[in-house]
Amino acid sequence: MALVLLPALSPWTSQTALAQTAQHPDGIRTYDVSAGPLQQVLNDFARQSGVALVMDAGALEGRTGAGLQGRHSIAEGFRLLLAGSGYAAVRTADGYILEPRHENTSSETVQSLEQVTVMANALGDITEGSGSYTPGTIATATRMVLTPRETPQSISVVTRQSMDDFNLTSIDDVIRHTPGVNIVTYDSERTQYLARGFAIQNFQYDGMPMERNSAYSAGNTLSDMAIYDRVEVLKGATGLLTGSGDPGATLNLIRKKPTRDFQGHLSAAAGSWDTYRTELDVGGPLDASGRIRGRAVAAWQDKHAEVDRYSRRSTVFYGIAEVDLTPDTLLTLGADWQDNDPKASSWGGIPIYDSNGNFNDMPRSFNNGANWSRWEQYTRSAFATLEHHFDNGWMAKLQLNHQINGYDAALGAAAAGNPDPANGSGTSLWLGRYKGKTTSNAGDFYASGPYELFGREHELVLGGSISRRVWRNTGRGAQTGYNNAVADYYQWNGNVPEPDWSQGSVFTNHEVTRENGLYASTRLNLHDDFKLILGARLANYKREDIRESDMVVPYLGAVYDLNRNFSVYASYTSIFKPQSEQTESGSTLDPLKGENYEAGIKAEFLDGRLNASLAVFQLQQDNYAVATGGRTPSGGDAFRAVQGVKTKGFEAEISGQLTPNWQIQAGYNHQVARQDGEKISTISPEHQFMLYTSYRFEGDLRGLTLGGGARWQSKTWGDVYRPTAGTVRHTINGYWLFDAMARYQFNKKLSASLTVNNIFDKKYYTMMDFYSTYTWGEPRSAMLNVRYDF
Tell me the CATH number at 497: 2.40.170.20
Q: Which residues contact 295 (CB under 8 A, 6 or more apart)?
A: 256, 257, 258, 259, 281, 282, 283, 284, 318, 319, 320, 321
Query: Is 492 contained in some domain?
Result: yes
The pLDDT assigned to 37 comes to: 82
624-631 and 637-642 beta bridge pairing: antiparallel
The pLDDT assigned to 22 comes to: 38
**pLDDT class for 633, splitting at 50, 70, 90?**
confident
Residues paired with 54 in a beta bridge: 4, 97
The pLDDT assigned to 382 comes to: 97
Tally of domains in the chain: 2
Mean of pLDDT over the chain? 88
Phi-psi region of 739 (alpha: psi -120 to 50; beta: other; left: phi over 0): beta
Whole-Å CA distances, 449 to 50, 124, 152, 442:
20, 15, 19, 24
**pLDDT over threshold 80, residue 337:** yes
Query: Is 197 contained in some domain?
Result: no
**pLDDT over threshold 80, residue 2:** no
The pLDDT assigned to 108 comes to: 39
Whole-Å CA distances, 672 to 190, 192, 245:
26, 19, 21
Question: Can you give the CATH number for the domain in which 71 is found?
Answer: 3.55.50.30
Query: Is 210 contained in some domain?
Result: no
The pLDDT assigned to 74 comes to: 83
**pLDDT over threshold 90, residue 230:** yes
**pLDDT class for 251, splitting at 50, 70, 90?**
very high
Per-residue model confidence as pLDDT tens digits over 541-558: 998 888 889 999 999 999
**pLDDT over threshold 80, residue 503:** yes
Which whole number is the average pLDDT over 54-59? 74
Rg (CA), the chain: 27
Query: Is 649 contained in some domain?
Result: yes
From first CA to last CA, the distance across the chain in angstroms is: 42
Query: Is 51 contained in some domain?
Result: yes
Query: Is 155 contained in some domain?
Result: no
Q: How far apart are CA 769 and CA 713, in angstroms?
A: 18
Per-residue model confidence as pLDDT tens digits over 106-129: 333 333 334 444 456 788 889 998
**pLDDT over threshold 50, residue 784:** yes
**pLDDT over threshold 50, residue 10:** no
**pLDDT over threshold 60, residue 11:** no
What is the three-class DSSP state of 644? coil
The pLDDT assigned to 69 comes to: 76
Listed range (30-39, 532-541, 653-662, 687-696) with the worst mean pLDDT: 30-39
The pLDDT assigned to 77 comes to: 83
Which whole number is the average pLDDT over 380-404? 94
Q: Which amino acid, residue 558?
A: A
Residue percentage of the chain with pLDDT more than 90: 67
Name the more confident of 680 and 701.
Answer: 701
Listed range (85-99, 213-227, 284-298) with the worst mean pLDDT: 85-99
The pLDDT assigned to 3 comes to: 47
Per-residue model confidence as pLDDT tens digits over 592-612: 888 999 999 999 998 889 999
**pLDDT over threshold 50, residue 621:** yes
Listed range (15-19, 34-38, 295-299, 737-741) with the worst mean pLDDT: 15-19
Domain that holds residue 87: 29-100
**pLDDT class for 67, splitting at 50, 70, 90?**
confident
Query: Is 256 contained in some domain?
Result: no
Q: Among residues 100, 127, 158, which one ends one of the domains?
A: 100
Q: Among residues 100, 119, 149, which one ends one of the domains?
A: 100
Which whole number is the average pLDDT over 430-453? 95
Which whole number is the average pLDDT over 294-305? 96
Q: How far apart are CA 599 and CA 667, in angstroms?
A: 17
Q: What is the number of other CB atoms lying within 10 angstroms of the CB of residue 294?
A: 19
The pLDDT assigned to 120 comes to: 64
Query: Is 240 contained in some domain?
Result: no
Half-sphere exposure at residue 424, Cβ-oriented, CA atoms within 13 angstroms:
11
**pLDDT over threshold 60, residue 764:** yes
**pLDDT over threshold 60, residue 50:** yes
Name the more confident of 138 and 68.
Answer: 138
